[in-house]
């Protein structure tokens, strides 16, 4: 039996010798490379926290003590140590989640996988334990990248006032989130990480102390006054300690003994303590460190020997946006771009390379990015904010009050909209159109293919009197779907717009292929059909309402929540226009949808041609 096979729970670590623990760390890294290369997943972050996670479980008693992982993509080692080592179906339907999951284990607590939330969770949990008189510790593990989020600093401000709260904050400092961490915090941590000059000053002070005639308490005070001044100057951990949070570190995040010593001191302190750990993202796997570390933050299926992907899927939706941004940048000097620590994933790296002075990476701070964009628009520029669709949720107030109310010409490009698949409930981009629908003056485009992405982005940056949104899904882009005609600004994908249809199918974005298949199946049943793609789906075009008035019924297909989405807006527009035509809404159910492939999710929720056709036929 290998050391890894001996682990069925955290307490199995207690009796292991230092040599066995070192072997276990190596076994875990080999296991991660082997298993994640087969399924895809977050490889680099987990390789970097092997010893740290082992130390946490040796010092704290989970689940009695609560471990909260910020974002949670670095929880694979935690899963292994808590008895979940079957990674054969990682991030696959009915397999392990790629994030903490309460359904999997009592050791998992926070599963929302959005960054910068762990400190607020941890303060709430620790305060609750204290109020209930329970002697339990809470540990929040947060990366230096997640510390760039404003919510983390709101929490730190409050935690600092809780002098007796048994809360340990572990900063996993690998100089990266998805990409290298930026901003003043990154500079501060770099100072803590790299400056050792203060130790030389202290050595000098000790030497002077031994050779000076000052004795007793005066000598002690003189030395420690000099020591404090030196440390404040050379290693300004005072930023945390001045808040009232005890600072320990920096600690080598790959030295198990040093980690355990620091964590035991933090546990015994009796109040908030920040333990600063230095780790290496991708540790132990040469392909995943140094300059290419960010490429291994999250991987698809790869060859573990070479680190290269096994499948080349062709051009992605993101590639189409990326190329168009570079082209627009050459034509218009007023176009600038903003990203929230996701430069490469959202396709802005080529724009940054071409126009380095017109790109802003604000860290994990979507709220700040949105309001900053409103400011850039006021200053005469046209900002393009590129984020994942699920992260627009985090900046809704800023979208509503700072952009829309001020009629700011800001374009939001939402990558990974709709069903995203293996990342699960928190990463499906299924709420963006519902949120956008209630924002006055906002216009939203849902391109059906790569050509339409380029067209929509160009149209969006020409609009200056309010915010615009362009959203598209994850994965390989579909072949272009050419319109067979246009009708008052609507793209006709199938049918004759001059013939009043029995069923008007309104196709939203990537649902174009499904929409045309539905129409063809309905036609085979003897129904006259017409498929239109409004392209700009919010607000609902007047031409669509007029066309619906000539139809027997309307069916709206969208990969957004059926609650409050485009279908709901179409139904409302018909009602407001006095059009008494039934409107059938087909979208994602109002529930949190777990991880599975896009196809599996769409099939499970009935968003495929056959069940849609069956429902429409039943209601005729």
431: in domain: yes
Count of the separate structural domains present in the chain: 4
Reported as a pLDDT band with limits 50, 70 and 90, residue 406 is very high
Residue 168's CB is within 10 A of a number of other CB atoms, namely 29
Residue 206 banded pLDDT, cuts 50, 70, 90: very low
Question: What pLDDT sits at residue 1?
Answer: 62
Task: Pick the more confident residue, 486 or 207.
Answer: 486
Q: What is the DSSP letter of 177?
A: S
Q: Is 432 annotated as a binding residue?
A: no
When the pLDDT of each residue in the chain is averaged and rounded to a whole number, the result is 87
Q: 342 and 267: one domain?
A: no
Could you tell me if residue 133 is inside a domain?
yes
pLDDT tens column, 130-184: 999 999 999 999 998 889 888 899 999 999 988 889 999 999 998 754 455 555 5
114 is in an annotated binding site: yes
Strands 536-538 and 443-445: antiparallel
Q: Is there a domain that residue 421 lies in?
A: yes
In this prediction, residue 97 carries a pLDDT of: 86
Q: Which of 9-18, 121-130, 238-247, 475-484 shows the lowest mean pLDDT across its residues? A: 238-247
pLDDT at 213 over 50: no
Same domain membership, residue 445 and residue 329: yes
CA 552 to chain centre: 42
Most confidently predicted of 163-167, 198-202, 528-532: 528-532
Task: Take residue 75 and report the two structure tokens written for it.
Answer: 């929880």
Catalytic residue among 366, 416, 521, 553: 366
- What pLDDT does residue 221 have? 44
Contact residues for 63 (Cβ-Cβ < 8 A; gap 6+): 106, 107
Same domain? For 133 and 210 the reply is no
- Total-model pTM: 0.80
Residue 211 pLDDT class (50, 70, 90 cuts):
very low
Whether residues 132 and 275 fall in one domain: yes
Specify the pLDDT at position 244: 75
- Picking from 234, 258, 286, the residue at the C-terminal end of a domain is 234
Whether 166 and 51 map to the same domain: the answer is yes
Please spell the DSSP secondary structure of 459-492, one letter per residue: HHHT--SS-EEEE--SSBPPPP---SEEETTEEE
Please determine, for residue 105, whether its predicted confidence score (pLDDT) is greater than 90. Answer: yes
- Whether residue 115 is annotated as binding a ligand: the answer is yes
Render pLDDT for 455-473 as a digit per residue (tens, 0 to 9): 999 999 999 999 999 999 9
Q: For residue 399, give the CATH number of its domain.
A: 3.40.50.970
Give the model's pLDDT for residue 229.
44
Report the 10 Å Cβ neighbour count for 620.
13
If you average pLDDT over residues 40-54, what whole number do you get?
Answer: 89
- One domain for residues 181 and 216: no
Q: Containing H/E element for 508?
A: none
163 is catalytic: no
The range of the structural domain enclosing residue 227 comes to 196-234
Half-sphere exposure of 529 toward its Cβ, with a 13 Å CA cutoff?
24
Same domain, 128 and 252: yes
Quick one: angle between helices 150-159 and 118-131, nearest 10?
30
Sheet-wide strand order for 167-173: 66-69, 138-143, 167-173, 273-278, 246-252
Known catalytic residue: 394? Answer: yes
Residue 226: partners with Cβ closer than 8 Å, 6 or more residues away: 201, 205
What percent of the chain shows pLDDT beyond 70?
85
Helix, strand, or coil (residue 339): strand
Question: Measured in whole angstroms, how far is the alpha carbon of residue 173 from the centre of its chain?
Answer: 18
Domain boundary among 449, 471, 493: 471
More reliable by pLDDT, 215 or 166: 166
Give the three-state DSSP class for 246. Answer: strand
Instruction: Please tell me the predicted confidence (pLDDT) of residue 189.
Output: 54
Rounded distance, CA 417 to CA 216, Å?
Answer: 69
Q: Establish whether 417 is an annotated binding residue.
A: no
350: exposed, middle or buried (C-beta count within 10 Å: 0-12, 13-18, 19+)?
middle
Q: What do you get for the CA distance between the two ends of the chain, in Å?
A: 64
What does the pLDDT read at residue 195?
A: 55
Residues 414, 563: one domain? no
**Residue 60 pLDDT greater than 60, yes or no:** yes
In tens, the pLDDT along 480-523 reads 999 999 999 999 999 999 999 999 999 999 999 999 999 999 99
pLDDT tens-digit map of 549-575: 999 999 999 999 999 999 999 999 999
- 201 shares a domain with 172: no
CA distance 123 to 162: 9
**Residue 479 within a domain:** no
Residues 500 and 435 in one domain: no
Does 186 have pLDDT greater than 60? no
Task: Give me the pLDDT at residue 198, please.
Answer: 39
285 in a known ligand binding site: yes
Answer yes or no: is 144 a known binding residue: yes
Task: Indicate the residue among 183, 211, 234 that finishes a domain.
Answer: 234
In terms of domains, do 240 and 286 share one?
Answer: yes
Residues 24 and 150 in one domain: yes
- The answer to the question of residue 480 being in a domain is no
Rounded to whole angstroms, the Cα distance separating 595 from 98 reads 9
User: Which listed residue (91, 283, 394, 553) is catalytic?
Assistant: 394
Residue 48 placed within a domain:
yes
Inter-residue contact 26 to 284 (CB < 8 Å): yes
Which is catalytic among the residues 29, 281, 416, 474?
281
The pLDDT of residue 310: 63
Distance CA 323, CA 354 (A): 11
Task: Tell me the CATH number at 546.
Answer: 3.40.50.920
Q: For residue 74, which of 102, 40, 105, 113 has the smallest C-alpha distance?
A: 113
pLDDT score of 239 more than 80: no
Q: Is 146 annotated as a binding residue?
A: yes
Whether 267 is catalytic? no
Res 218 pLDDT > 90: no
Tell me what the mean pLDDT of segment 324-348 comes to: 95
Per-residue pLDDT of 270-303, as tens digits, reads: 899 999 999 988 786 766 675 555 556 666 665 6
User: In the predicted model, is pLDDT for residue 203 greater than 50?
Assistant: no
Residue 412 domain-assigned (yes or no): yes
Ligand-binding annotation for 113, yes or no, is: yes
- Report which DSSP code applies to 295: G
pLDDT single digits (tens) 534-553? 999 999 999 999 999 999 99
Q: What confidence tier does 238 reach under pLDDT thresholds 50, 70, 90?
A: low
Is residue 588 in some structural domain?
yes
| Count of C-beta atoms within a 10 Å radius of residue 24 | 24
């Amino acid at each position: 039996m290998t050391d890894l096979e001996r682990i069925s729970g955290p307490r199995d670590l207690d009796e292991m010798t230092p040599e066995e623990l070192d072997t276990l760390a190596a076994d875990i890294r080999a296991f991660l490379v082997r298993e994640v290369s087969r399924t895809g997943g977050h490889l680099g972050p987990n390789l970097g926290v092997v010893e740290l996670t082992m130390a946490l479980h040796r010092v704290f008693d989970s689940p009695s003590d609560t471990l909260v992982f910020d974002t949670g993509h670095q929880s694979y080692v935690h899963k292994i140590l808590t008895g979940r080592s079957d990674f054969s179906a990682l991030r696959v339907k009915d397999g392990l989640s790629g994030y903490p999951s309460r359904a999997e284990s009592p050791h998992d607590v926070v599963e929302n996988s959005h960054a910068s939330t762990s400190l607020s969770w941890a303060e709430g949990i620790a305060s609750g334990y204290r109020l209930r008189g329970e002697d339990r510790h809470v540990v929040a593990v947060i990366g230096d990248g997640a510390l760039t989020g404003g919510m983390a600093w709101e929490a730190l401000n409050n935690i600092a006032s809780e002098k007796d709260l048994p809360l340990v904050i572990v900063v996993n400092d690998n100089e990266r989130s998805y990409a290298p961490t930026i901003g003043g915090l990154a500079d501060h941590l770099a100072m803590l990480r790299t400056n050792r000059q203060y130790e030389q000053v202290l050595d000098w002070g000790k030497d002077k102390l031994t050779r000076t005639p000052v004795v007793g308490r005066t000598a002690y005070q003189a030395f420690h006054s000099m020591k404090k001044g030196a440390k404040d100057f050379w290693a300004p951990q005072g930023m945390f300690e001045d808040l009232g949070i005890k600072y320990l570190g920096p600690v080598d995040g790959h030295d198990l003994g040093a980690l355990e010593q620091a964590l035991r001191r933090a546990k015994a302190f009796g109040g908030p303590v920040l333990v600063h750990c230095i780790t290496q993202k991708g540790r132990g796997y040469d392909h995943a460190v140094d300059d290419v570390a960010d490429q291994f933050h999250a991987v698809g299926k790869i060859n573990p020997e070479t680190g290269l992907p096994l499948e080349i899927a062709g051009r992605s939706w993101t590639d189409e946006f990326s190329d168009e941004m570079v082209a627009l940048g050459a034509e218009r000097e007023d176009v600038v771009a903003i990203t929230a620590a996701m430069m490469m994933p959202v396709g802005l790296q080529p724009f940054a390379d071409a126009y380095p002075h017109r790109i802003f990476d604000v860290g994990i701070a979507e709220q700040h990015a949105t309001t900053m964009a409103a400011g850039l628009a006021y200053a005469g520029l046209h900002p393009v904010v590129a984020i994942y669709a699920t992260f627009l949720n985090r900046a809704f107030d800023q979208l509503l009050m700072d952009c829309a109310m001020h009629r700011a010409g800001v374009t939001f490009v939402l990558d990974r909209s709709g069903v995203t698949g293996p990342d699960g409930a928190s990463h499906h981009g299924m709420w963006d159109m519902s949120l956008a629908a209630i924002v006055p003056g906002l216009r939203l485009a849902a391109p059906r293919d790569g050509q339409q992405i380029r067209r929509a982005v160009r149209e969006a940056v020409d609009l200056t009197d309010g915010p615009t949104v362009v959203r598209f899904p994850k994965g390989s882009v579909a072949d272009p779907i050419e319109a067979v005609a246009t009708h008052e600004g609507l793209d006709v994908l199938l049918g004759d717009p001059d013939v009043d249809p029995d069923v008007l199918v309104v196709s939203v974005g990537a649902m174009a292929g499904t929409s045309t298949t539905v129409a063809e199946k309905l036609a085979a049943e003897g129904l006259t059909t017409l498929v239109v793609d409004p392209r700009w789906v919010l607000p609902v075009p007047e031409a669509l309402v007029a066309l619906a008035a000539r139809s027997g019924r309307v069916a709206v297909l969208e990969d957004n929540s059926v609650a409050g989405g485009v279908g709901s807006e179409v139904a409302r527009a018909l009602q407001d226009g006095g059009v008494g035509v039934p409107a059938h809404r087909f979208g994602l159910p109002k529930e949190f949808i777990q991880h599975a492939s896009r196809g599996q999710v769409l099939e499970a929720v009935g968003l495929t041609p056959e069940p849609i056709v069956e429902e429409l036929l039943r209601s005729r």
